[in-house]
């Protein structure tokens, strides 16, 4: 499995490309240049597993603070050595997990060492950081135009989703974004089948498409599906996130960030743990969350991970999920 790395700092990606990505453990994500002011936005948009930040002054420290408060991700900072050691300690205090001194002309051995460190840190759970004393409140997203339901499923998911959607009328006042782990090329057929099984309009999501209430948008195989506050869909063809593309975590996390308390997240039957972190993000941002119970799940893997993580507000049998969505969406 390759881990996604976002590099923050002028010229860092071009410099690191000489040796950082020689193996198959790391892949770069995001634009070639990510400046400190846009580090949080880039982190929210590209879902890295780990950040590599060039520690070149106060703006770099501010970038680390914003990321660790807005979207916690493991951070490795590179200290250029021309600064005092104080910046390194400040970076750690703000949430960076480690700091490595960067030589003026880093060679292959240095980048190999950085690569090993990034692989280790990418597997560490990042914790949201807050500074002591006064700080700028987190900027809240604009008011969402309608509620949103975001559904994640894997093995056994199509049948389960059909049962959930079968309880929902065509005048449902929210769109539904749906990520399903399925073989390449099968999402178009899934959309057609679900259209016959439910009163709702079901379609494959397209980049730039605007969602409308009463419709279901399926993440196409081979692309991550993201939602934005105004209701616009985005497709991301970047590397898999923890082995999956589309990633349930990416959909649910973007839904929580964009729709906040107007978001309802659902994890249905499936193997593995994809989606648990995203469901927790929805709950932490004031949304409501459901995990399918063990008895009615074909495979109680993904829902179980969500329960263990504390991401599920309710653990429900499959037959109660649709009616609960009808009740909750009216209160959003």
Q: Which of 54, 79, 154, 254 is catalytic?
A: 154
pLDDT at 136 over 70: no
Task: Assess whether 181 carries a catalytic annotation.
Answer: yes
| CATH code of 162's domain | 3.40.50.180
Give the residue-averaged pLDDT of 39-52.
94
Strand partners, 236: 224
Task: Assess whether 171 carries a catalytic annotation.
Answer: no
The reply to whether 162 and 117 lie within a common domain is no
Would you tell me how many other CB atoms lie within 10 Å of the CB of residue 150? 32
Please tell me which residue, 85 or 138, carries the higher pLDDT value: 85
pLDDT of 140 reads 54
With beta carbons less than 8 A apart as the criterion, state whether 230 and 145 touch. yes
At residue 177's C-alpha, the angle toward residues 280 and 310, to 5°, is 15
- Choose one of 121, 136, 167: the last residue of a domain: 121
Give the residue-averaged pLDDT of 142-171.
94
The reply to whether 190 and 115 lie within a common domain is no
pLDDT confidence band for 130 (50 / 70 / 90): low
pLDDT of 137 reads 46
Q: Which of 254, 274, 293, 297 is catalytic?
A: 274
Q: Which of 54, 181, 221, 236 is catalytic?
A: 181
Task: Assess whether 113 carries a catalytic annotation.
Answer: no
Q: What is the pLDDT of residues 3-12, one digit of tens each?
A: 999 999 988 8
Number of structural domains in the chain: 2
Please tell me which residue, 303 or 11, carries the higher pLDDT value: 303
| CATH code of 50's domain | 3.40.50.2300
The reply to whether 87 and 177 lie within a common domain is no
pLDDT at 111 over 60: yes
- Looking at the whole model, is its pTM more than 0.85? no
Q: What is the pLDDT of residues 203-256, one digit of tens each?
A: 999 999 999 999 999 999 999 999 999 999 999 998 898 889 999 999 999 999
Does residue 211 sit within a domain? yes
Whole-angstrom distance, CA of residue 33 vs CA of residue 14: 9
Does residue 143 sit within a domain? no
pLDDT at 200 over 80: yes
The reply to whether 325 and 182 lie within a common domain is yes
Q: What is the residue-averaged pLDDT of the chain?
A: 91
Would you tell me how many other CB atoms lie within 10 Å of the CB of residue 273? 17
Does residue 253 sit within a domain? yes
Give the residue-averaged pLDDT of 263-269.
98
Range of the domain at 22: 3-121
The reply to whether 25 and 82 lie within a common domain is yes
Q: Please report which helix (H) or strand (E) contains residue 287, including its range.
A: none
pLDDT of 85 reads 63
User: Most confidently modeled of 6-15, 87-96, 104-113, 222-231?
Assistant: 222-231
The reply to whether 294 and 153 lie within a common domain is yes
pLDDT of 242 reads 83
Does residue 194 sit within a domain? yes
Whole-angstrom distance, CA of residue 108 vs CA of residue 39: 26
Q: Of 130-144, 199-213, 228-242, 268-282, which gets the smallest average pLDDT?
A: 130-144
Q: Please report which helix (H) or strand (E) contains residue 136, including its range.
A: none
């Amino acid at each position: 499995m390759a881990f996604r790395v976002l590099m923050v700092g002028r010229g860092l990606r071009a410099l690191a490309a000489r040796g950082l990505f020689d193996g198959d453990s790391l892949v770069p994500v995001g634009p070639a240049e990510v400046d400190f002011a846009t580090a949080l936005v880039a982190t929210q948009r590209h879902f890295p597993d780990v950040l590599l930040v060039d520690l070149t002054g106060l703006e770099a420290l501010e970038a680390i603070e914003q990321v660790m408060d807005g979207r916690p991700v493991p951070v490795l900072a590179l200290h250029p050595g021309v600064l005092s050691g104080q910046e390194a300690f400040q970076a750690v205090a703000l949430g960076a997990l480690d700091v490595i001194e960067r030589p003026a002309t880093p060679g292959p051995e240095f980048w190999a060492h950085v690569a090993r460190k990034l692989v280790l840190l990418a597997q560490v759970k990042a914790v949201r950081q807050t500074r002591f004393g006064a700080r700028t409140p987190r900027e809240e997203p604009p008011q969402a135009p309608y509620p949103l339901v975001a559904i994640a499923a894997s093995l056994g998911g199509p049948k389960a989703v059909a049962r959930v959607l079968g309880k929902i009328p065509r005048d449902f006042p929210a769109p539904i974004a749906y990520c399903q782990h399925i073989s390449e090329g099968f999402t178009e057929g899934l959309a057609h089948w679900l259209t016959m099984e439910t009163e709702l309009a079901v379609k494959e999501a397209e980049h730039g498409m605007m969602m409308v209430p009463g419709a279901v948008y399926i993440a196409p195989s081979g692309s991550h599906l993201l939602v934005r506050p105004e209701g616009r869909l985005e497709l991301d063809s970047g590397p898999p996130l923890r082995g999956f593309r589309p990633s349930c975590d990416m959909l649910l996390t973007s839904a929580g960030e964009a729709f906040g308390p107007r978001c309802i997240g659902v994890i249905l039957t499936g193997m593995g743990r994809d989606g648990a972190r995203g469901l927790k993000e929805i709950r932490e941002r004031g949304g409501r969350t459901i995990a399918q119970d063990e008895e009615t799940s074909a495979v109680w893997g993904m829902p179980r991970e969500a329960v263990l993580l504390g991401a599920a507000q309710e653990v429900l049998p499959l037959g109660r999920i649709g009616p609960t969505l009808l009740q909750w969406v009216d209160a959003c």
